[in-house]
Structure 1
Amino acid sequence: MNDKILETLEFDRIKGQLAQYLVSAAGQRELAALRPQTDYQAVQDLLVETTDGADILRLEDGIPIPQLANIKPQLKRLKIKANLNGTELAQITKVLQTSMSVKNFFDEMREKKVRLRVLNDQVDQLVTIPSITQRLTRSIDPDGRINDEASAKLHGIRQLITKTETMIHQQMENYTRGKNAKYLSEPIVTLRNERYVIPVIARYRNKFGGVVHDQSASGQTLYIEPAAVVDSNNRLRQAQIEERQEMRRVLMELSKLIAPYRHDIGQNETILGHLDFINAKARWAHDTKATLPLLSKENHVFLRQARHPLIDPQRVVANDIKIGDDYQAIVITGPNTGGKTITLKTLGIIQLMGQSGLFIPANEGSTIGIFDNIFADIGDEQSLEQNLSTFSGHMDGVKSILEQITDQSLILLDELGAGTDPKEGAALAMAILDEIGAKGSMVVITTHYPELKIYGYDRAKTINASMEFDQETLQPTYHLLLGVPGQSNGLEIAQRLGISSTIIDEARALVSDDSQDLNKMIGDLVEQRKKAREESERLAKLVAENKQTQQELTEKLGRFNEQRDKLYEQARSKANHQVSMAKRKADRIIHHLRQLEVQQGGHVKENELIDAQGKLNALHQDNPRLRHNSVLQRAKQKHDLHKGDAVLVKSYGQYGELLSKRGNHKWEVQIGILKMAIDERDLEKVAKKDLPREKDAQRRPRAAVHTTQTRKTSARLDLRGHRYEQAMSELSDFIDHALLNNLSTVTVIHGKGTGALRKGTQQYLQSNPRVKSFSYAAPNAGGDGATIVNL
């Protein structure tokens, strides 16, 4: 890809946006080397990596990579067997620590069955050195300071230094706080030449003896090391020298320890930088609402609602851009300030981004090509004095482009043929387009020349286009109209700006009738296209609303069918029970008649027969279907819920009152002092007269009002390993069940980890009025990884 197109389309500004998301020096190096690729498989691989990064961002908030410094110079020094200082070792340690944490992160994702396409293979190339990493971590602080644990000798020396300094300060207090303090300019202990001294007034120097190490600018204060502390300072100085020697030895030892692994460490830095770069691409795509483009080997480009990435998202106008399938050339005509040049740049920059492995600022389902090169000659005319040089410059650029293009190239030409005689410029533009078409390249041009409107209509594989203008206000809308040539609105704009109507009428008389008819025809086409687009947008919105309605109806139908089957089952069960009871009664009646017949010798009295016949008739249902419907009707009424109804919450075995509807299938229910959101399938309507009376409840023994436990409720909830939203939902349900089951104390295990679950748990407990108090568990019971809650 040529450098000029990257400069013309401001590709570096896109890279500048990406740079804000990078945290490693290796990632910055990879971004600096980023260029559009021209091989189909290479582009596909880059986009697959970005897709993996987007999935990780969506599921896990990105790959955990901290700030990483550039360690290339340190690795070069290790190659020549030089020793590294503490800061350099700390930077290498951070790379090794990050390598281990990233490998663990991807191992956890494998355990969660998160399917990635290529990144797992790249992470497997990371080399971890646990023992050396642990040694470095123990020896070097992140800021480069050598820890006491770096060696036993260093630990002992530093203890001696601390002890000696303490002793010196105790000795010095005899001077700063005793009777000798009056001879000091200030009652303090300070350092000069790395030895502890006191500031003595010059005329009292003989009061202390010892060594003078410095004096003030005025000469009135001498910094004296008293004779009594000279030996102690000597011992301290000796210990400090031994400390520096031991520190140098530790740094040398650590440098030799990691030197054999410098190639692995360098490879780790590169891989982590690449993962950082993928992270940056994913975060940039998320923030700019960019999407994964499809790739076309035939270079069929179709951008759906494409947006220029460098224009304010609140102001940018999205357009559909299509080329390569039905036509290979687009001629965009129309007046200035309509957005023609931005349309060219939008197509070009999106192609560069897609071929660089970036998601593109367009709607999902957009397709890009894989061009071997993209050429552009874009620049605005500034003044009449520059016309000649502008034309020459444009022609020089076009000449260079024509010498390099192939049938796999994309050419963007702004104001082709401008800057010279209009007729010659138009003829030259058409000849250039013919040459580009003969080579099979794809081309998009902008022009003012009306002759090119006819060219776009006559030539095969060529289509006219224009930028839409509002016919009433004559203001641009910046919408691209494919298939409609641009309309000249010069006379209308001049009239709107206040030019005399006499001048306007004379100008119209000088314009040919054909030109006026063409403008009128174009105006009608633009108006029809605008109405068609508005109607299309209205229909698209209507289709979306209908899809949502259909989804809701389908869900309701599913619930209805489920409830209907349940009611049918209940009705069948009840009907079977009634039939069984009727059969038993009939059997008893028949048995009684047989007994009477036996007892009376075969003669049963008529009144007894009439009584038996009446009992049998009483068992007969004149219309069984009505009875069946009655059962269904009563069951249906139990689920006909309204605000204020009394209900039974089946899963809790508690009565409550409906407060309000929550969503499509949930109700807010008042159960005693609790308010809960409950699915309507768990509710059954009851008559308010059936509710337990408050007076009756008060008369009952205290044990009778205890909540019946409807599910096994534990006094312990383990949230470890759960996502934040899921954990908070489970915590809310757990506290509700604990209250309903009369649990006074419960334990919530949230772990330590990042602290997000612990913080969320405490915020919820603080906001719940039913929580009396809470505190961390005892150290032997989990410490700050668990919280004890008193309800």
Structure 2
Amino acid sequence: MLKEFAVGKGSVFLELHTLRTLEYNYMLTLLEEQASSEMGKEAISNLTPSNVTEEVRQMLTTTAEGMDILRLKGFPSLAGVKDIRNAVKRARLGSVLTTKDLRNVAGTAHGERQAKNVVSSIDEEDTPLPIIRGMVSGLAELRSLVKAIHAAVDVDGQVIDEASVELTRIRRSMTRLQGGIRSTLDQMIKSSHYQKMLQDPIVTQRNDRYVLPVKQEYRSAFGGMIHDQSASGQTLFIEPETVVQQNNRLRELELEEEREVERILRQLTGLVAESGDELLANLSVLTELDVIIAKGRLGGVLKGVCPQVAENGVMTLKKARHPMIPVEQAVPLDIELGRERQGIIVTGPNTGGKTVSLKTVGLLALMGQSGMPIPAEEGSSLPVFSGIFADIGDEQSIEQNLSTFSAHMTNIIRILDQIEERSLILLDELGAGTDPTEGAALAISILEYILAKGCRLMATTHYTELKVFAHSRDGVINASVEFDVETLSPTYRLLMGVPGKSNAFDIARRLGLSQEIVEDGRTHLSADENRLEEMITGLTKDRRLAEEDRTEATQLRVEAEKLQREYADKMAAWETEKEKLREKARIEARTLVTRAKRESEDVIKELREWAKARPQDLKEHQLTELKKRLDDAEPEVSPTQYRGVQSSSAPRRIRVGDQVLVRSFGQKGQVTEDLGNGEFQVSLGLMKMKVAEKDMEWKSSPKPEKEQGSTFYRRQSTDVKHELDLRGKMVEESFPEIDKYLDDALMAGYPKVSLIHGKGTGALRVGVHKYLNRHPQVKEYRLGEQGEGGTGVTVVELR
């Protein structure tokens, strides 16, 4: 049986026999398990590979988007999406939908909100998802329909009391009436007059009427309407006359209830009919979305990737595995088929993995053309084949009474009649089942025919002639499955470029056959066969060594790339940090310059005021000259001129009065005396000591004092801190220190400072605040906030 699907202007055939042979149906079953909706499962069961390149690319791109969604946010179950096509059709024809139909419609309509919520929660700038976002944006908003159905029908499919005002009234009346009937019957049960007449003291129902089980002999004495009797006839179920009217009224209310429920369902059915087109369109999109998410989940199960679509017709599989083999047991395959390599001839011992290699290639090609992720590594790519054909395994047909050779040839003949340039052909044990000489010759002619058609080919064989053919034929390469002679077991590794050997002599020797017999057997091989075996042995050894070297080189390359990335990251971080330091230095330098300029203007202002008082001692042009000199002294700071470190020019000479850093002590001090011979006396707090000039680093020089009558002006900003610690001092003792500190802070250009007085009893804080209230340079003050020291600190803003 053949299944046809279109490609381009013509059509080709994808054989169901091939799908079964390559176990494609198993993959569909596995994919169905990942779907959450019944519609999604149905769509997957009908999924077939496409051979339209753009369609395959679109499917794989969409699957990759689905995998991104699952990786970032996950996806809710679409189990509520049901097949509502028939329900919508019946609603349009005027039929009243059942509560189950309505719940299914509501579940399907709600799928729109579920999908939009997930997709909208993913940052579009970081993860575009153009295809899925386009699909979701096209979903019709049906929130009002969902709300209407949920407001009338509960999860159990029952119309709730609050579905309408009338239904609420009817059911409340029924509840009250039922309570009255049961109360009347309960009184009869408890009455001594009726107890002897009752078979059992219970209230039951027959034909929707409340009745009592009465003994047959009291039929006349009890009175009422008989609705049923027991199988033996000894018990009659009688409706007492006292509740007949109540039961009649209850029946009327039940009929009213039925009519009201039908009205509500008909109203909701009308809403479904009105939204029929939107519901069916949403159902189609949600079904497709469920299939996409199922493919994404399958990728997680298989630890797979979405392969690239190869425009050049080259199949590249990196670390590919068969999906049915557990990851921890599978031996990955690296295969490239295309360009100069049109065909691969795989040789090697039985049970060595040749057939698994064929099936892996074929099944992964089918999966890729169905939009499924494949169990391989990133960088894998698949061309879009127009047809995939396989003749694998023992195809002997008992019904047709065909031999193995005949069954294989029947399949191959059918395949050869359908292949074209973009076909992939997979042949297992080509030419087997007949005379080796004739089988090999026929196999070569079949391979030549397939290669001449331009198809991609992969075949397995035991024939030495085919090894030679692959070695000498352009576009064909030998491959083999590795066999460990020491353990007498296959490793299942596929070695490209090396033909396989039968290992018959080695295996026989390892199993205990005498060396004499083995050596005698070797003499019966022709010289060419011996040379071929020696060549294969040498190639296998060289290949193994090359593989080990390549593995080591790959590891070294990975480590080198990792180190390079780490170095690049560190360089980038260093450049960022360096730029931050430069910017900080520029800001600090500009701040210092601005403060200095402001202070210079204050000085000029004071000089002018002083000059007005003593004009004979200072002229205006002298003031202008001083101001120009101050302006000229302002440095022009740029990123390349300021680094926050000492200039690379020659170090500054140390002079008396300079502030220096004594390197050996790591402390700052002031030079008090030049002792000569490169040595100075330095004051380090209360201690004075002799220090060599080479052990000192210049930090600053004292500002020159400017005599202005009886006053002096000295800039000391480098020694002024932003806070003054008063803890441990008496209140009166702190006032002079505060006064001097505030003056220094003003001279340093600080807009605000902090006075640390601690919490303690609060006496020092109160005294400091009283002093600040009358200080002329204090604009305002406040207690510190969180992060500033709280109530243990007072922050002072200066004028």
- Using the size of structure 2 for normalisation, the TM-score is 0.70
Q: Which runs of 5+ in 2 are unaligned?
A: 1-13, 589-642, 660-670, 683-689, 700-757, 765-783, 791-799
Aligned-pair CA distance for 1:167: 1.7
Task: Give, as a single letter, the amino acid of the residue that structure 1 aligns with 2:184.
Answer: Q
Residue 681 of structure 2 corresponds to residue 618 of structure 1: yes
**C-alpha distance after superposition, 1:106-150 (max 9, x if no partner):** 344467864112111112221223333322221222332222233
The answer for the alignment partner of 2:278 in structure 1 is 264
* Separation in structure 2 between the aligned mates of residue 51 and residue 709 of structure 1, nearest angstrom: 50
User: CA 1:37–1:612 in structure 2 vs 1: closer, same or farther (change >3 Å)?
Assistant: closer
Equivalent position SS for 1:200: strand
User: CA 1:383–1:295 in structure 2 vs 1: closer, same or farther (change >3 Å)?
Assistant: closer
Q: Which runs of 5+ in 1 are unaligned?
A: 588-609, 630-696, 714-791
Q: Does the Cα contact within 8 Å between 1:388 and 1:420 map onto a contact in 2?
A: no
The within-5 A match list for 1:288-303 is 288-303=302-317
Task: Give, as a single letter, the amino acid of the residue that structure 2 aligns with 1:193.
Answer: N
The answer for the alignment partner of 1:601 in structure 2 is none
Aligned-pair CA distance for 1:499: 3.9
- Aligned with residue 6 of structure 1, among 8, 16, 19: 19
The within-5 A match list for 1:741-752 is none
The answer for the alignment partner of 1:377 in structure 2 is 391
CA RMSD in angstroms, aligned pairs only = 3.8
User: CA 1:482–1:17 in structure 2 vs 1: closer, same or farther (change >3 Å)?
Assistant: same
The answer for the alignment partner of 2:603 in structure 1 is none
Residue 537 of structure 2 corresponds to residue 523 of structure 1: yes
User: CA 1:22–1:67 in structure 2 vs 1: closer, same or farther (change >3 Å)?
Assistant: farther
The within-5 A match list for 1:631-650 is none
The within-5 A match list for 1:255-404 is 255-380=269-394, 389-404=403-418
* Separation in structure 2 between the aligned mates of residue 711 and residue 543 of structure 1, nearest angstrom: 53
User: CA 1:513–1:173 in structure 2 vs 1: closer, same or farther (change >3 Å)?
Assistant: same
* Separation in structure 1 between the aligned mates of residue 136 and residue 55 of structure 2, nearest angstrom: 19
The answer for the alignment partner of 2:47 in structure 1 is 34
* Separation in structure 2 between the aligned mates of residue 288 and residue 236 of structure 1, nearest angstrom: 62
The within-5 A match list for 1:140-539 is 140-179=153-192, 180-181=194-195, 183-205=197-219, 208-380=222-394, 389-539=403-553
User: CA 1:185–1:524 in structure 2 vs 1: closer, same or farther (change >3 Å)?
Assistant: farther
Task: Give, as a single letter, the amino acid of the residue that structure 2 aligns with 1:622.
Answer: A
User: CA 1:107–1:574 in structure 2 vs 1: closer, same or farther (change >3 Å)?
Assistant: closer
Residue 38 of structure 2 corresponds to residue 25 of structure 1: yes
**Identity of paired residues, percent?**
39
Task: Give, as a single letter, the amino acid of the residue that structure 2 aligns with 1:133.
Answer: V
Task: Give, as a single letter, the amino acid of the residue that structure 2 aligns with 1:83.
Answer: V
- Aligned with residue 585 of structure 1, among 647, 657, 667: 657
- Aligned with residue 45 of structure 1, among 53, 58, 80: 58
Q: Does the Cα contact within 8 Å between 1:381 and 1:387 map onto a contact in 2?
A: no
Task: Give 1 or 2: higher helix fraction.
Answer: 1
Aligned-pair CA distance for 1:625: 6.6
* Separation in structure 1 between the aligned mates of residue 421 and residue 646 of structure 2, nearest angstrom: 80
User: CA 1:209–1:387 in structure 2 vs 1: closer, same or farther (change >3 Å)?
Assistant: closer
The answer for the alignment partner of 2:607 in structure 1 is none
Residue 86 of structure 2 corresponds to residue 86 of structure 1: no
* Separation in structure 1 between the aligned mates of residue 156 and residue 195 of structure 2, nearest angstrom: 40
**C-alpha distance after superposition, 1:313-359 (max 9, x if no partner):** 22111110111023101111122111111101100111111111111
Residue 148 of structure 2 corresponds to residue 135 of structure 1: yes
Name which of structure 1's ranges 412-421 and 171-180 shifts more when overlaid on structure 2. Answer: 171-180
Q: Which protein is bigger by CA-based radius of gyration?
A: 2
Aligned-pair CA distance for 1:186: 3.5
Q: Does the Cα contact within 8 Å between 1:57 and 1:63 map onto a contact in 2?
A: no
Q: Does the Cα contact within 8 Å between 1:328 and 1:462 map onto a contact in 2?
A: yes
* Separation in structure 1 between the aligned mates of residue 261 and residue 509 of structure 2, nearest angstrom: 86
The answer for the alignment partner of 1:76 in structure 2 is 89
User: CA 1:112–1:85 in structure 2 vs 1: closer, same or farther (change >3 Å)?
Assistant: farther
The answer for the alignment partner of 1:120 in structure 2 is 133
Aligned-pair CA distance for 1:419: 1.0
The answer for the alignment partner of 1:677 in structure 2 is none
* Separation in structure 2 between the aligned mates of residue 130 and residue 91 of structure 1, nearest angstrom: 14
Aligned-pair CA distance for 1:387: 11
Q: Does the Cα contact within 8 Å between 1:387 and 1:419 map onto a contact in 2?
A: no
* Separation in structure 1 between the aligned mates of residue 374 and residue 346 of structure 2, nearest angstrom: 23
Q: Does the Cα contact within 8 Å between 2:673 and 2:681 map onto a contact in 1?
A: no
- Using the size of structure 1 for normalisation, the TM-score is 0.71
User: CA 1:543–1:220 in structure 2 vs 1: closer, same or farther (change >3 Å)?
Assistant: farther
User: CA 1:126–1:402 in structure 2 vs 1: closer, same or farther (change >3 Å)?
Assistant: same
Task: Give, as a single letter, the amino acid of the residue that structure 2 aligns with 1:142.
Answer: V
The within-5 A match list for 1:528-607 is 528-545=542-559, 547-548=561-562, 585=657
Aligned-pair CA distance for 1:475: 1.3
Q: Does the Cα contact within 8 Å between 2:52 and 2:384 map onto a contact in 1?
A: yes
* Separation in structure 1 between the aligned mates of residue 148 and residue 33 of structure 2, nearest angstrom: 34
Task: Give, as a single letter, the amino acid of the residue that structure 1 aligns with 2:680.
Answer: N
**C-alpha distance after superposition, 1:649-675 (max 9, x if no partner):** xxxxxxxxxxxxxxxxxxxxxxxxxxx
Q: Does the Cα contact within 8 Å between 1:78 and 1:259 map onto a contact in 2?
A: yes
User: CA 1:33–1:703 in structure 2 vs 1: closer, same or farther (change >3 Å)?
Assistant: farther
